[in-house]
Structure 1
Amino acid sequence: MTRTSIQQSMGRKRTEWPITDVAYFSASHKYVSAYRADGASLILTDTLQELEADFGALFIRTHRGTLAARHLVEGIEHNQAHTAYLLRLKGLDEPVPLARREVPRVRELIRELAA
């Protein structure tokens, strides 16, 4: 069965989002958080690898700890010191991290989206 949503359970409260609402996933320490463009977030029990396996067609790895929604990819930029790449996503104020080794794949995706 193909997953179409993610969920967070805290006690008796369960929150579920359609996967199409997620702008990006970010892993930090033992947790993965899902973020929407409106700033809302969920903490998940899934690993980034599990999410990539389940939703890899919809998300692209941009950094070892980040998966971004392919359809929201807008462009690549540098930080102010020009020491790191960042990825702009449509509808988000802040860019997400972009590893140097992922830049070619992301540039190819941007070309595909523009076509």
Structure 2
Amino acid sequence: MTPRLLIVDDEAPARARLAMLLSDIAEECPHVLVGEAAHAQAALDVIATTRTDIVLLDVQMPGMSGIELARHLAATEAPPAIIFVSAFDEFALKAFEVHALDYLLKPVRAARLADAIRRAGTLMAVPAQKQALASVSESLHQQRRNFSVQERGRLLLVPVEDVLYLRAEAKYVSLRTAARTYLIEESLSSIEEELGGLFVRVHRSALVARSAVQGVERAPLGSDADGEADRSDKGERIDRTQETWQVIVRGLTERLPISRRQWPQVKALVRC
């Protein structure tokens, strides 16, 4: 099967050079170039509408790095193989020493590109890609800058900095920005573990961006505001007539309940 390729690089000259090299090796390495993208969301839009087998992906890009984009792609139903392309070799030559991925150092040589495409075409193992990307991210101590949202056949990227709060709802987690609400299939605990420096847990079912906590206010007296068990960890019955508190989220009229267990750290955050 002839592989279908997508070039992703924020620099137009770099994309043009790769396209020219692909043209040069077309006879010895048959392929189809399905398009080019200058940033992550453009790449996702192409992949959502056009079958893409291999992505030639720049590592260093503004807004979202190639590594983070590759992680999002690895979570899709049929992820393409990734060939990283970069002008920097201080970490990648060792980090990408795996069978399912390859790494090309700019300026790319035609023979090396052809070899990488043939290799990626036969080694597109999804588990290996995921393991390799996780290892790379850990070695670089990279924290994600976007959430992936599956919506109407597309994969959308929502910047972490735009998220006001996340709340667990049945099988999904609702992700709230100033503009709208999205649904993602992640657990609050895993998000808190990864992004605990940016979000504070206010309830067992809710995380709020620390930067979005505008203040707190008392909840209606006697209301079951925190929704937690009727007994404490020590088995003592909780008095529901005690006052409870709610978080005031920047830019929103709705309030999020604060559980008694999380109240001390929320109060400390507000007082900072």
Q: Which has the larger radius of gyration?
A: 2
Quote the offset at 1:32 in angstroms: 0.5
Q: What secondary structure does 2:253 align onto?
A: coil
Matched, 1:59 2:199: yes
The question of 1:44 aligning with 2:174 is answered no
**What is the aligned-residue identity percentage?**
32
- TM-score computed with the length of structure 2 as normaliser: 0.39
CA distance in 2, matches of 1:81, 1:107: 19
Matched AA of 1:102: Q
Can you give the 5+ residue segments of structure 1 that lack an aligned partner in the other structure? none
Of 253, 259, 262, 1:93 maps to 253
1:69-100 deviation per Cα after TM superposition (whole angstroms, max 9, x unaligned): 00111222122335332110111111112111
Deviation per CA, 1:43-93: give whole Å up to 9, x if none.
101111111112110000000000000011122212233533211011111
Aligned amino acid, residue 87 of structure 1: V
Give the AA of the match of 1:89: V
Structure 2 residue 246 is the aligned partner of structure 1 residue 103 = no
**SS of alignment partner, residue 34 of structure 1:** strand
TM-score for both structures, normalised by structure 1:
0.88
SS in 2 for 1:54: helix
Pairs aligned (count): 111
| Aligned equivalents of 1:68, 1:42: Cα separation in 2 | 15
Partner of 2:118: none
Structure 2 SS opposite 1:50: helix
Question: What is the alpha-carbon distance in structure 2 between the residues aligned to residue 5 and residue 59 of structure 1?
Answer: 14
Which of structure 1's runs of 4+ aligned residues deviate more than 6 A? Answer: none
**Distance of 2:172 and 2:252 partners within structure 1:** 21
> Which one of the candidate residues 7, 22, 37 is aligned to 2:148?
7
1:26 is matched by which residue type in structure 2? R
| Alpha-carbon distance between aligned partners in 2 of 1:59 and 1:82, rounded to the nearest angstrom | 28
Q: Secondary structure at the match of 1:3?
A: coil
Q: Which amino acid aligns with 2:214?
A: E
Distance in 2, Cα, partners of 1:63 & 1:17 = 23
Distance in 2 (CA, whole Å) between partners of 1:82 and 1:21 is 34
Q: Secondary structure at the match of 1:104?
A: helix
Deviation at 1:11, TM superposition (A): 5.1
Moved more, 70-79 or 15-24: 70-79
Structure with the higher fraction of residues in strand conformation: 1
Q: Secondary structure at the match of 2:261?
A: helix
